[in-house]
Amino acid sequence: MLYKILMGKRSPIFLKPTEMFSRPLILEPNPLILSKTGRIHNKGTIELKNISKQTILFQLSFDPDVFCGISPACGELDKMASRSLTFLLEDTNRDLNELTFTIKYFIVPPDSTPDQITDIMMNQNSWKDTITATIKFSSHAEDAMKSVSSAFKTRNSLKKAIAREENNNLDEEERAMLERKIGDKEAQKAQLERKVESLRQQLEKKNEESVKFARNPTVEYNLVYIGIIILLLAILKRKIFN
């Protein structure tokens, strides 16, 4: 039985022999490979897994000049649970071959109260255990695949990596399709605007012709004469047939 000093009391921690000598946290993939050439990746995700049977608190430490941020920066992992750590890089010099960030963690003693867990979180400077996440930049796809394959411990991890890459390719295809649709919509919009402008000009021309027609006295007189002639013809028709 091992003991850890907590809140001035001796709180027991029970660990299996295998857990005493192996890390309770693992990262997959580690290292994570990003490309230096082609489409530049400024964003990535690493999976943090708790392979122990105890709750673990974790806190991330990283260089703010290199990373815009990593989410979540801290948290709690239940036994056998996992959490995705998503990072965003600044526009760094890609002459670098690798970047790292550190994860400090603390194994919570069994039967700890919420107040005790809160106090542990408030005293992160006393945490001694760490694990380092590595991000490598590669210029060659073959080297990258070799590094990735050596980093994976299980077949399921490799399947997840392939699925992530397929999702990235799908995102590119969807983005290209959306860009084409936006271009088509903009062309249709421009065509409609031209049609509306043409109709507006035609309408203005018709209005001008109507005004000229209404203001022409000769036209008015002709209409009166035509009306009188029609009236006379109607009267004559009645007299002839009556």
Query: In whole numbers, what is the pLDDT of the chain averaged over residues?
Result: 73
Whether 20 and 127 map to the same domain: the answer is yes
Angle at the Cα of 190 from the Cα atoms of 184 and 193, rounded to 5 degrees: 140
Q: What is the dihedral of CA 174, 178, 181, 187, to 10 degrees?
A: -150
- Within this chain, do residues 72 and 187 fall inside the same structural domain, yes or no? no
Domain that holds residue 233: 178-242
Q: Residues 138, 198: one domain?
A: no
Same domain, 57 and 126: yes
pLDDT band at 205 (very low <50, low <70, confident <90, very high): confident
> End-to-end alpha-carbon separation of the chain, Å?
133
30-73: per-residue pLDDT in tens? 999 887 665 556 788 999 999 999 999 999 999 888 888 899 99
- Examine residue 169 and state whether it is found in any structural domain, yes or no: no
Q: Please indicate, yes or no, whether residues 143 and 224 belong to a single structural domain of this protein.
A: no
Total domain count, the chain: 2
164 lies in some domain: no
Point out the domain boundary residue: 134, 152, 170: 152
Neighbours of 25 (CB within 10 A): 19
Q: What is the pLDDT of residue 28?
A: 93
Supply the pTM of this predicted model.
0.49
Kindly report whether the peptide bond that precedes residue 12 is cis, defined as omega within 30 degrees of 0: no
pLDDT at 155 over 60: no
Alpha helices in the chain (DSSP H): 17-21, 114-122, 141-151, 155-215, 217-241
